[in-house]
Amino acid sequence: MMFNHDDPNTWPVFKPLIIAHDVGRSHDRSTAVIGGLAPFEPTLVGVKECEELPQNQFGSARASALAAVDRRYDSEAVIIADLSNDASYADNLFETFGPRVIGLQIGRYGNGMEYERRPVKHTAMLVYQIGRNYLLEHLRAQIDSGQVRIVDTPNSRKAFHQLVRLETEMRDSGLVYRCPSGQHDDLGISLAMLVWAAQHLHLESWVNIANRARQPRRVRQAPSSSLGWT
């Protein structure tokens, strides 16, 4: 396939590859949006695939569905996962993907820079606090400035239409984005998560954590001894 600057399908790699995972509630679908930074332009974000995971899956089953997507990309992606509605899901994700997972707590406030180290198994996972409005405004600004390229697929169009249909309300605290009754915004939120992660100041640190996790452990050999030699 001939290289096209505006078509992430033709990019040889992403630097790095990122999977953004929005976790649906009972009536929403969990999603996986795949993309990352362009190898030739470090500020340009490409979105290669938007996927809705099967409904009514929870915990380890949902993590396994995400792992099937991850394997299509050689299990090398940094996983950005929404833990807003199910903090215990962090354990399932860590069991499946290890330290490659970065958590996101989406709420009313936060610029996505403050984080906590949330205990998982024998270690801790980085979980960042971000406001939903901040996340969506950041995506809008990056699209308006021409810093996002999205492969044209039915699901990417669906994500775009979810974002377009969001309703706005001006409150004392500022502009608020709301999902219309009976509608969904899961793909749109995952798209916003991916663009936020791809341009985050801590991205290099996340990649280093993921790379260390893939390195084989060295087997410590016992010191040599003259005992037993003849």
- CATH dotted code for 8-214: 3.30.420.240
CA dist list (Å): 127 to 72, 87, 133, 139: 26, 10, 18, 20
Q: Kindly report the number of other CB atoms within 10 A of residue 172's CB atom.
A: 4
pLDDT the model gives residue 215: 60
- Check residue 228 and give its pLDDT: 39
Query: pTM to 2 decimals?
Result: 0.89
H-type alpha helices, the chain: 59-71, 89-97, 132-144, 154-164, 186-198, 203-214
Q: Give pLDDT, residue 131.
A: 93
HSE-CB at 205 with a 13 A cutoff on CA atoms is 5
Within 8 A by CB and 6+ apart from 215, the residues are: none
Judged by average pLDDT, the poorest of 18-22, 32-36, 210-214, 220-224 is 220-224
pLDDT at position 173 over 80: no
